[in-house]
Amino acid sequence: MENIAALKSRIAELESLVKYYEAQFALAKQKQFGASSERGESPEQLGLFDEAENTAVSKEPEPAVEEISYTRRKRVGKREEDLSGLSVEVVEHKLPTEEQSCGECGGALHEMGHNTRRELEIIPAQVQVIEHRQAVYSCRHCEKHNDHTPILKAPMPEPVIKGSLASPSAIAYIVHQKYVMHTPLYRQEQDWQRQGIALSRQTMANWIVRCAEDWLEPLYERMRSQLLAHEVLHADETVLQVLREPGKKANTNSYMWLYRTSGDTEHPIVLYEYQPTRSSAHPRRFLADFQGYLHTDGYDAYHKLPLTVVGCWVHMRRKFTDALKTVTQEEKLDSNAQKAIERIAQLFHLESLWKNLPPKERYARRLAESKPLAEAFFVWLETLDTLPKMPLGKAVQYTQGQRRWLMNVYLDGRLELSNNRAENSIRPFVIGRKNWLFSNSQKGARASSVIYSIIETAKENGLKPFEYLKFLLETVPNATIGELDSLLPWGEAVPERCRMPER
């Protein structure tokens, strides 16, 4: 009997292990071949395509027809809206004067109208040399009669890099290509060569680092001081490979940290910071002067900060989404993973209804309607009987461990249910990293963090990155410390040409 009991126990253990490996295989297969979207297929979604057939009632009487007459302004075509911000060059096509006669009677022809066809013309980047000549003046009388001749020079703007061919537009173009269009410097080098210009990637890298250190870092520090004055922030981090770091191998991970404002601010700020490790000491130092709420994912380093950390329900929901990917299609609708996702979806549905409410009213509605659902969700999790090593068991354990920080969203109406703002802001860096792969040095990584901060903050505030960078590199070398605030993306000194056209 003891042998039978031991065999049954061993069989149960092996069956559990098989289920675990099946779940891991299904999850790996889904990650490799499946869709990356987290949107589940609820019963309501499955019926979208036959909604008309399912909801139609044949015996229902037709509604009475009510005639309504009104006038409305004719909508401008989408093409006209798309082209409204572009300059137009008109090319006239007319008959020669000697051909402007009637073929039947010989009478003179007059122009009764015209047909119009519009085309987009692309003018590739053009390179030319700008030669600055500074006039130098002296006094003829003093040259002849005095032992000292005064010299006067005409005013000339400071160069962006002394002793270099670099211009504001050239550097802005190179930076835009790398950090906005994700084109590595070696590809830009090849493109310059095709245009007959010998501009090496080393030279371009030197220009980028110099400009970041000399002209963009002061703006970065001004934005950082304004960022820390807010009461609600978001944070995230991602890996970065830096080849030349003291005491580290080239293939060791470094990190790019991100901090940004929340949706309660008029002027969004997005800042990156390069650091060699993922230690909690880095956000602790960066946020030393910050007091308020910090949205994060479930990384434990943030929980060690002397701040009110707000957890991310989307990050938590992914655990259940992964668990759902390991069950068969027939089991999905009745699985506990699907039920957990549906309960979380109720909270996000309420948030979508309240997104335009003032924070105080949203706070009150959350306490009355959303918080009871969230608390019921955690009570329901305690009733589930799950295996701790299975994906669903891991999701339940993770969620219960994050409960304290997830429920902090109900402390203030300005807080958000997710940390999506930070994840969306760090995505441009992740896309760029896939193209240029690594930073060569710590200086390069630091320069990248400053430049990404300037560009992403400009984009958040409705500016054209290239035009704004060009404006900064033309202006900051000749500006004083007191003028820096007016040069920030929302400053009054930013010209209209830097702004995106309104749609």
Question: Would you say residue 342 lies in a domain?
Answer: yes
- Do residues 435 and 188 touch, judged by C-beta distance below 8 A? no
- Tokens 């395509």 label which residue? 49
Distances (CA, A) of 284 to 288, 290, 307, 402: 6, 9, 9, 20
The count of other CB atoms within 10 Å of the CB of residue 114 is: 8
Q: 251 pLDDT exceeds 70?
A: yes
Give the contacts of 217 (CB within 8 A, at least 6 positions apart).
Answer: 450
User: pLDDT above 70 covers what percent of the chain?
Assistant: 84
CA 440 to chain centre: 24
208-231: pLDDT as tens digits: 999 999 999 999 999 999 999 999
Find, among 416, 412, 350, the residue nearest to 377 by Cα.
350
List alpha helices for 366-419, DSSP H.
Answer: 371-382, 391-401, 403-406
Find, among 42, 11, 329, 166, the residue nearest to 174 by Cα.
166
Looking at per-residue pLDDT, the higher value among 323 and 59 belongs to 323
- Tokens 């944070």 label which residue? 235
The two structure tokens encoding residue 318: 């992914």
> Which residue type does 9 have?
S
Question: Would you say residue 492 lies in a domain?
Answer: no
Q: 183 pLDDT exceeds 70?
A: yes
380-402: pLDDT as tens digits: 999 998 888 888 999 999 999 99
Question: Would you say residue 56 lies in a domain?
Answer: no
Give the separation between CA 84 and CA 43, rounded to whole angstroms: 44
Question: Would you say residue 145 lies in a domain?
Answer: no
Question: Would you say residue 271 lies in a domain?
Answer: yes
Give 214's DSSP letter.
I
Three-point CA angle 373, 376, 382, nearest 5°: 150
Mean pLDDT of the 47-75 span: 47
417-470: pLDDT as tens digits: 999 999 999 999 999 888 877 788 899 999 999 999 999 999 999 999 999 999
Give the separation between CA 200 and CA 205, rounded to whole angstroms: 9
- Do residues 445 and 248 touch, judged by C-beta distance below 8 A? no
**Nearest-10 crossing angle of helices 442-460, 217-227:** 60
The per-residue DSSP string of 217-268 comes to HHHHHHHHHHHTTSSEEEEEEEEEEEEE-TTS-TTSEEEEEEEEE-TT-SS-
Mean pLDDT of the chain: 86
Q: Give the range among 64-73, 150-159, 183-192, 374-383 with minimum mean pLDDT.
A: 64-73
Give the separation between CA 476 and CA 469, rounded to whole angstroms: 10
265-298: pLDDT as tens digits: 999 999 999 999 999 999 999 999 999 999 999 9
Q: 31 pLDDT exceeds 70?
A: no
Exposure letters 241-274 (e unless 16+ CB within 10 A, then b) = ebbebeeeeeeeebbbbbbbbbeebeebbbbbbb
The two structure tokens encoding residue 279: 């230690």
Q: Which pLDDT score is estimated for 396?
A: 94
Q: Which pLDDT score is estimated for 15?
A: 64
- Tokens 């002296």 label which residue? 138
- Do residues 295 and 310 touch, judged by C-beta distance below 8 A? yes
Q: Which of 64-73, 159-168, 318-327, 486-495 has the highest mean pLDDT?
A: 486-495
**Nearest-10 crossing angle of helices 391-401, 371-382:** 130
Domain span at 342: 229-424
Give the separation between CA 313 and CA 347, rounded to whole angstroms: 9
Query: For 302-388, where are the E strands, in sequence order?
Result: 308-310
Q: Which pLDDT score is estimated for 45?
A: 39
Q: 53 pLDDT exceeds 60?
A: no
Give the contacts of 127 (CB within 8 A, at least 6 positions apart).
Answer: 195, 197
The count of other CB atoms within 10 Å of the CB of residue 56 is: 8
The β-bridge relationship of strands 439-441 and 232-244 is parallel
Question: Would you say residue 160 lies in a domain?
Answer: no
CA 28 to chain centre: 28
Mean pLDDT of the 112-123 span: 84
Question: Would you say residue 18 lies in a domain?
Answer: no
User: What's the number of domains the chain is made of?
Assistant: 1
Question: Would you say residue 313 lies in a domain?
Answer: yes
Looking at per-residue pLDDT, the higher value among 400 and 4 belongs to 400
Give 98's DSSP letter.
G
Give 307's DSSP letter.
S
